Amino acid sequence: MRVLILGMDGYLGWPTAMALSKEGHEVCGVDNYLRRNICREQDVAPLFPTPNLHERVRLWEAVSGKKIGVYIGDLKEWTFISRVFQEFQPDAVIHYAEQPSAPYSMLNRETAMHTMNNNLTVTANVIFAVKEFCPEAHIIKLGTMGEYGTPNIDIEEGWLDVEYKGRKEKFLYPRQGSSLYHTTKIMDTDMLWFYVRMWGLRVTDLMQGPVYGLFTEESEQDERLLPFFNYDELFGTVINRFAVQAVVGYPLTVYGKGGQTRGYINIKDTMNCVSLSVENPAQKGELRIFNQITETFNVKELADKVKGVGSQLGLEVQIKSIPNPRIEAEEHYYNPKFTGLVDLGLKPNYLTDEVLENMLKAIIKHRKNINKSKIYRGFEWHKK
């Protein structure tokens, strides 16, 4: 298939491009380096320098013999996105092209507007570009488990059957994001559902939990292919942060009571989920929703796991609860369903001690790059 990856430079975009290219798809990607630019603007940096997309596709060709196309540009610009879609004519479009940091979206008015303008405009442009240039194409959109929040009832896979005063209807599962970023993803889902009903688009919306890990099959062969890996408070997800903190002797930053429970997924499984979605497209006129997680943990459990494995490797790991900079429930019910992707064939890679050990060992190699002052600055959401 001809697969277009929007947001190919990010933590997930580049590994996805390689994985699908390796599987024999014709892959082309787009990025405007939004994440790199925000990192520079906010004075944070990834764990190791990451080559730009032109360099990465050259490296990939040298390693695999396969070509990946690149467009650098802003998908908010209609002239640019229409050129990309007209020229490439995708069968599947993987939409990662969003400002992905919850904390960044909560910094101030400008970062909130940046998040909203980017995420909603790009999603709308993708919908219009598909309608105009490739109406049969399958849109695979990266959503988030954070769209559901932490309700006091079980979380279904996207939809809820409601019986009310003797009548029945199926609705999108109620959504209540805990940051503006998560809220833009709720709005994306609403927009996609609207145009699925209007225009019969085919859409898969992947409700993903926080991702962890460095290596996918391709970067295991050659470390120059590793993804853009953040450990700072804005872009680093919690397990990746804890692993870096353990390596550098920084007490693990458990926010508040640490009872916040989320569904987590290994980056290798993100690749498998996206690939399964590409190969098993949604029907025309269908908004198909999967909860893209493989297991749940609370923050305290994660810290204990990292401490346990870190200690076996001889690292001095401490855990420190710090006042929660976010507004979120610290002890709550959490019971999401996540069977859809397993039914499609996903074989999960769980967060075992071995997986954590490999992560820690890989991070140890880059220890000299870790800047402790970037780990926690205390961006407090409620003070803005």
Separation of alpha carbons 37 and 12, rounded Å = 17
Cβ closer to ligand USQ: 60 or 290? Answer: 290
User: Is 247 an interacting residue with respect to ligand USQ (CB under 6 A)?
Assistant: no
Cβ closer to ligand USQ: 28 or 107? Answer: 107
β-pair partners for 171: 160
Window of 63-71, 168-176, 255-263, 365-373 that interacts with ligand USQ by CB under 6 A? 255-263
Residue whose entry in the numeric block shows the structure tokens 């849109």: 139
Number of residues this chain uses to bind ligand USQ (CB under 6 A): 21
Specify whether 144 is catalytic: yes
Do the Cβ atoms of 271 and 216 come closer than 8 Å?
yes
Separation of alpha carbons 358 and 139, rounded Å = 34
User: Is 237 an interacting residue with respect to ligand USQ (CB under 6 A)?
Assistant: yes
Closest residue by beta carbon to ligand USQ:
146
Cβ closer to ligand USQ: 98 or 218? Answer: 98
Radius of gyration of the chain (CA): 20
User: Is 34 an interacting residue with respect to ligand USQ (CB under 6 A)?
Assistant: no
Residues 58-117 that bind ligand USQ (CB under 6 A): 100-102
Shortest separation between residue 209's beta carbon and ligand USQ, angstroms: 4
Cβ closer to ligand USQ: 127 or 254? Answer: 254
Of the residues 71, 141, 184, 185, only one is catalytic, namely 185
Of the residues 16, 50, 123, 144, only one is catalytic, namely 144
Shortest separation between residue 89's beta carbon and ligand USQ, angstroms: 29
Residue 137-176 contact track with ligand USQ, rule CB under 6 A, x = bound:
-------xxx------------------------------
Specify whether 185 is catalytic: yes
User: Is 328 an interacting residue with respect to ligand USQ (CB under 6 A)?
Assistant: yes
Cβ closer to ligand USQ: 22 or 241? Answer: 241
CA angle 123, 3, 214 (to 5 degrees): 85
Q: Of all helices (H) and strands (E), which one includes residue 72? A: strand 68-72
H helices within the chain, ranges in order? 13-22, 34-41, 53-64, 78-88, 102-105, 109-133, 180-199, 217-221, 238-248, 267-279, 299-312, 340-344, 353-364
Among 123, 183, 260, 291, the residue binding ligand USQ under the rule CB under 6 A is 260
Shortest separation between residue 86's beta carbon and ligand USQ, angstroms: 30
Question: Token pair of 8, please?
Answer: 């190919």
Residue 180-219 contact track with ligand USQ, rule CB under 6 A, x = bound:
--x-------------------------xxx---------
Shortest separation between residue 149's beta carbon and ligand USQ, angstroms: 9
For residue 75, CA distances in Å to 5, 119, 123, 152, 319 come to 12, 10, 9, 38, 42
Among 238, 243, 267, 273, the residue binding ligand USQ under the rule CB under 6 A is 238
Separation of alpha carbons 191 and 207, rounded Å = 15
In single-letter form, the type of residue at position 46 comes to P
Of the residues 11, 181, 195, 212, only one is catalytic, namely 181
Window of 119-127, 130-138, 235-243, 277-285 that interacts with ligand USQ by CB under 6 A? 235-243
User: Is 15 an interacting residue with respect to ligand USQ (CB under 6 A)?
Assistant: no
Write the DSSP string, 185-208. Answer: HHHHHHHHHHHHHHH--EEEEEEE
Closest CA to 243 of 296, 308, 324, 292: 308
User: Is 254 an interacting residue with respect to ligand USQ (CB under 6 A)?
Assistant: yes
Write the DSSP string, 290-342. Answer: EEE-SEEEEHHHHHHHHHHHHHHTT----EEEE--SS---SB----B---HHH
Residues 297-326 that bind ligand USQ (CB under 6 A): 299, 326
Query: Strand 68-72 to strand 159-164: parallel, antiparallel, or no bridges (unpaired)?
Result: unpaired
Closest CA to 282 of 200, 199, 185: 200
Site for ligand USQ, rule CB under 6 A: 100-102, 144-146, 182, 208-210, 237-238, 241, 253-255, 260, 262, 299, 326, 328
Indicate which residues carry an active-site annotation.
Answer: 144, 181, 185
